Amino acid sequence: MRQVHPELAPRPGLSKAEMESLQRRVAETAVFEDDLSFDPASISLADSGTTTLTGDTDPPLVAGIDQSFLDDRAVSAVVVLRGGAVVERVHAVSELDLPYVPGLLSFREGGPILDALAKLDSDPDLLVFDGSGRVHFRQAGLATHLGVVYDVPSIGVAKSLLCGTPDEDVDGRPEGWQTPIRADDSVDAVGGHPATPETVIGYAFQSRQYDSRPIINPLYVSPGHRLSAETTVDVVSRLSGDYKLPEPTRLADAYADEAKAQYE
């Protein structure tokens, strides 16, 4: 996978103001509408090989990315799926330069993730990140930032909401439920277009809800790059298996822990 915009890659040593201005450039470059090389409906977790008889084609390559941490090092893991089959796994251990600061996550975790993605042989059609995409103060969260660097369709899947306002109360919703997340005052304009409450920057999505106890919180999904908010939820639902997190993310999460164990 080649970086189309290496000049926009998160790099260490920038001041807070420089990081924010780089994020504004990323947001200007990002495309929040569908520009895909595959049909979203072809996304599936079913193991479907090529069926010459019907002319079926292989499902798209989807990469799940997640990290685990040791002291001041990050273990970045990437798991690539084609349908429900794992076709490649890579990981990288990198030194962390910055602390976690809300809104600047891509500068702490982005570099380490690029280290892992550089080891990838396959060329994913879609990147699924653990964190926000467009749901971000400058509409340039981790998923947007790295998706733009590679100019590959990307999605952000977060377990909590960074900013924006859900249309409806998200508590105790049934499986499959979803509601738009709209821009609020904390979300900056992009491309001369102000971010108004009409701007849908993501969706709250209840991927799972077990009959029993603890009410499960919804996922907060948002476009990273080259997908609309609507297609983003659709794709995440297609990538959902038996757990709360979409399968690529869940497998990357497990692999990050597995790899981490080798270094401690």
Partner DNA sequence: GCGACAG
Partner DNA sequence: ATCTTGTCGC
> Interface with DNA by CB under 7 A: which residues?
66-69, 100, 102-106, 130-132, 136, 141-143, 156, 158-163, 211-213, 256-257, 260
**Which of 176, 129, 172 has the alpha carbon at shortest distance from 150?**
129
Minimum distance between the CB of residue 55 and DNA, rounded to whole angstroms?
38
For residue 88, CA distances in Å to 81, 155, 165 come to: 7, 19, 37
> Binding site for Mg(2+): which residues?
66, 130
Tokens 């809800």, located at residue: 209
Nearest partner of 76 among 136, 130, 133, judged by Cα: 130
In the complex with DNA, the residue whose CB is nearer, 22 or 61, is 22
Binding residue ranges: 66, 130
CA 118/CA 120 separation, integer angstroms: 6
Q: Kindly tell me which of 99 and 192 has the beta carbon lying closer to DNA.
A: 99
Minimum CB–partner distance for residue 223 and DNA (Å): 12
- Residue 61 tokens, joined: 């390559």
Q: Which is nearer to DNA, 106 or 207 (by Cβ)?
A: 106
| DSSP state letter for 16 | H
> Residue 110: which of 143, 135, 151 has the closest Cα?
143
Token pair, residue 166, equals 């859900």
Nearest CB to DNA, comparing residues 61 and 161: 161
CB of 11 to DNA, least distance (A): 15
Smallest distance from DNA to CB 162, Å? 4
